[in-house]
Structure 1
Amino acid sequence: MKIILHILCFFSVAVAFAQTATEEAENQSKIWSLEDCITYAIENNITVKDADLDKDISEVNYDKSKSSRLPNLFGSASQNFTNGNSIDPITSDYVTDQVYSTNLGATSTMTLYQGSQISNQIKQDKLLVDQNSFLVEEAKNNIIISILENYLQLLYAKEGITIAEKNLEASEKEVLRAKARLDAGSIALNDYTEAQSQAATNKYNVITAKNDYQQYVIDLKQLLELGPEDTIEIEDVDDDMALINLEMDKMNIYYKALNVLPEMNASDLNIEINEKDLDIAKGAYMPTVSLVGTLGSGYTSISDINFSRQLDINFNQSVGVSVSIPIFNRNETKAAVKTAEINIEKAQIEKQSTEKEIYKKVETAYQNALSAQEQIIAAEASQEAALQSYNLAKIKYELGELSTTDLIINQNTYTAAQLNYIQAKYLNILYHQLLQFYQGNDIKL
């Protein structure tokens, strides 16, 4: 029987290990799309989780404030010893003796009226729950935008590596041609060394481009909360994405953003929350009416009756109503009311600041989108012209009609034009997607 159990345990561990290894292999070989990154980040990013925990705390406080309508209940028990002249705590008789006494009791208090402070506190805590829900959405939006920006930076860096590697390959061929021409005596030594220098520079550019790519990979992995041992490869986008035309009215985008972005809803609720603070503060001017009930019993050693019998005989109950009327509390209520009024004004100013910030985001994205559209057209034309010029320069160089320096200048011009084009391409995609996002549309590549 023990042998069978050992075999079953061995197979269970082996299966679990195999499943884990398979999951890790799948994760490492997976090509991440932008949608994959966004979905995963929303579920795992610690900033979003922190916002979720804040929301959980607000829900706990909301439940707590609702419970404040209920009566409380406290139990008490005490054991006392007195010697000499004293009042028996149970019988209230004057005695001159050693007295052992026991007191047992329970007290309950229920607030009947407190200037509507309890009701306003419950309403305020519900507003805080709603506000934290919008703050969670804002945190998710911030992560989505960060993922989008980083994802496009990765694509830009990835294409930058390809350009740098092609340049290195071309410059290495030019070094070989320059060496052959030097040996033939058709060029000077400095032409050959310039070709070598350009090849070394291009090799350095490849290393730099790969390092930039890895830095963006690190940033993306941190946004996704992936571990150092995890690898990630992203999905390329269709080049047609860069040719999207901007056919949207800026003010329409802004007004839509005001309606859909959660920070505006959070700002509106912040004003209401502070207005409830004012109602709560004013409630302190009103009297507090409470219902009080007590149960009690006790035992005294001066009586000949046994303990349990005394508890039964001395059992008492009382119910009463207490009223507490505020007369003067050193202007604490007055200060609280004034502070609440100031906080309402601050909340209204914060809302205006939020509106300005949203307008700035929309305006910036819109202007950058317009600029990127013009840039990509110019960059595409420049890239094509630079390519033709570079191809012509290579032909002339092979025929001995162009110096190495002029060839290198043409190559660097073409490289710069390529980089300008892919930069304009991804900027156009970025700002178009941002404008879609500000209108409440999903980001999709």
Structure 2
Amino acid sequence: MRRLSPNFNFLLLCILMLSALLAAGEKIALTLDRAVAIAMQNSYQIRQLKLGIERSREWLKAEQAGLKSKVYMNVKAPEFSALSDYKWDSLVNKDVIVRQNVQRWWMNVAIRQPVILFGYPTNGYLSLNNTLYQYGQLDDSQWYANYYNRYFLKFEQPFFQPNRLKSDLEEAKLSLEENELEFLDDQVELIENISRDYYELFDYSYNDIILERYIRTLEQVREIANCAGQDNGSKSIDCIQIQVELANSIEKKAQNLSDLRLESTRVKQRLRLAESDSLEVIPEIKITEIKVDLKQAIEYGNTLGPRMRLLDINRRKREIDLTNVKGWNAFRMNVEMTYGLEKQDESHKQLWDEFDNSYSVTVNAYVPIWDWGQRKARIAAEEITIRKTELYQEETRSRIESEIKNAYQNLLEYQKRTLSMQENMSMAEEITALSIDQYARGEISLHDLLQTLMRQKQTEENFLEAYLGYRKSIIGLMIDTYYDYENNIALLDKFRSTS
């Protein structure tokens, strides 16, 4: 059998090791900020909202471009007609069938510009036009052609009608702002959801530390009791109690780790991470005493948060709808004026010589007489919609104030509890150390020592509960006010700096 060379074996070993490393996935040290950043990057909802913002920006560009000049051309090339139709013949005083055979080649080029006064679109248009056509007609067996050329200015202005140019531009701006606010709101909602998942992992990870510390302390007590030196048949009651408590604690730790793995799997799915990736949460305790001005917090909730501004946008859109409804089936008038030069000739070469002045004025008006109250009812319906929006604004403002007051009170309570429990935990550690020394000297019983250890463990668990409530209350206040009190920055500015 042929042996493989050492170089080939080394190469094969490197390939196997590389494959194992790739299959192992990435180990992610997860913090709340890291989890939020991953969620922002992988969220389908965030991507959709970003596309919605880009779409609204393009619509706004389109409306803004509509306020500038537009050049276009209409062409009929050709228009043939060979038809018979009834025509009135005044000589014989009756209808006769007349056959027409005509050819028309027609073109109109226009440069059209909306009329804007002092930055305000008037809903009118001014255009520079050139119309040129050839009209040919068959008479018996001979074609007769006639040519026409006209240069003219055209002014069109509607009166007593909703200003569509202004309304469309304003609605495009409002839609863009609305999408940006919805994007901000969705980001904050994502922070709320991810923080809930993150602190579930934090809870399991910190509980693992508590149980690990408790197990090490029990092992230390077992060594002090010298249980290893006892015969199997004559173990003391102390050693049995220690062993039972130690076994129960190890089982609790195993169950906690199992729950941690299940929660990690769920969080990975939510963050859309690979199954081979592993999450590691290092439960770092960070307590910063936060001072909040309640009146300023309420003001932040009304001004920095998107809810009130979204309602303002909705109300303004309803006002635009009301304006459009008022223009429906109402008196309106259109004025159209043209002035220019024209020439008509049988020869194409003569069209640019000796122009004649040409002008026209047209006034069209629509006068509604009776519609059985239809227009009035439409207006009343739109006005009711606006009043509903105003009532909802008042309700939302009151709800925001109530939510911020509750979040503020929660923060004060949990902050006080956390600082107090932190002091209690330090004292419990000192008492535990003293009790272990007393047990080693035989001054207290194992029962008293185990009670002390249980009290320390319970104190640590109470501290964890208070700390998680403290962290969640900070996030709750941030979500209600859209202001990060830990970093003293508005969330909108924070998102802009990180984008």
Letter in 2 for 1:280: N
Aligned positions of 1:133-172 closer than 5 A: 133-171=180-218
Which residue of the partner structure matches residue 26 of structure 2? 28
Which residue of the partner structure matches residue 341 of structure 1? 383
* Corresponding residue SS for 2:275: coil
Percent sequence identity over matched residues? 17
Which residue of the partner structure matches residue 261 of structure 1? 305
Instruction: Map Cα deviations across residues 185-232 of structure 1 (whole Å, 9 max, x no partner).
Output: 4645xx766555533432332233324434553455455443434333
8 Å CA contact 2:290, 2:486 repeated in 1: no
Letter in 1 for 2:413: S
Q: Please point out which of 420, 425, 440 is paired with 1:378.
A: 420
8 Å CA contact 1:160, 1:209 repeated in 2: yes
Instruction: Map Cα deviations across residues 167-187 of structure 1 (whole Å, 9 max, x no partner).
Output: 344556767866865846464
Change (3 A) 1:130 1:377: closer
Which residue of the partner structure matches residue 55 of structure 1? 53
Change (3 A) 1:187 1:40: closer
Matched length: 388
Q: Please point out which of 386, 399, 405 is paired with 1:363.
A: 405
Please give the TM-score of this superposition, normalised by the length of structure 1: 0.67
For 2:210 and 2:454, how far apart are their aligned partners in 1?
A: 11
8 Å CA contact 2:63, 2:172 repeated in 1: yes
Change (3 A) 1:377 1:123: closer
For 1:363 and 1:427, how far apart are their aligned partners in 2?
A: 16
Structure with greater Cα Rg: 2
Q: Which has the higher contact order (CA 8 A, sep 6+)?
A: 1
For 1:230 and 1:362, how far apart are their aligned partners in 2?
A: 38
Which residue of the partner structure matches residue 260 of structure 2? 213
Which residue of the partner structure matches residue 423 of structure 1? 465
Change (3 A) 1:105 1:348: farther
8 Å CA contact 2:432, 2:453 repeated in 1: yes
8 Å CA contact 2:205, 2:283 repeated in 1: no
Aligned positions of 1:267-278 closer than 5 A: 267-278=311-322
Letter in 2 for 1:207: A
8 Å CA contact 2:334, 2:363 repeated in 1: yes
Letter in 1 for 2:386: I
User: Is 44-53 or 370-379 further displaced after alignment?
Assistant: 44-53
* Corresponding residue SS for 1:213: helix
8 Å CA contact 2:331, 2:367 repeated in 1: yes
Instruction: Map Cα deviations across residues 326-361 of structure 1 (whole Å, 9 max, x no partner).
Output: 445564433332222122222223323332333233
For 1:169 and 1:104, how far apart are their aligned partners in 2?
A: 100
For 2:209 and 2:106, how far apart are their aligned partners in 1?
A: 83
Which residue of the partner structure matches residue 148 of structure 2? none
Letter in 2 for 1:42: M
In structure 2, runs of 5+ residues without a counterpart are 1-18, 88-94, 113-124, 126-155, 339-359, 489-499
CA RMSD of aligned residues (A): 4.8
Change (3 A) 1:343 1:96: closer
Letter in 1 for 2:467: K
Change (3 A) 1:222 1:270: farther
Counting helix residues as a fraction of each chain, which structure ranks higher?
A: 1
Give yes or no for the alignment of 1:201 onto 2:248: yes
Counting strand residues as a fraction of each chain, which structure ranks higher?
A: 2
8 Å CA contact 2:227, 2:235 repeated in 1: no
Q: CA deviation at 1:418?
A: 0.8
Please give the TM-score of this superposition, normalised by the length of structure 2: 0.61
For 2:336 and 2:477, how far apart are their aligned partners in 1?
A: 59
Change (3 A) 1:329 1:211: farther
Q: Please point out which of 241, 252, 268 is paired with 2:296.
A: 252
8 Å CA contact 2:24, 2:277 repeated in 1: no
Instruction: Map Cα deviations across residues 231-282 of structure 1 (whole Å, 9 max, x no partner).
Output: 3335654x4x31x223332222222332222323222222222222222221
Which residue of the partner structure matches residue 440 of structure 1? 483
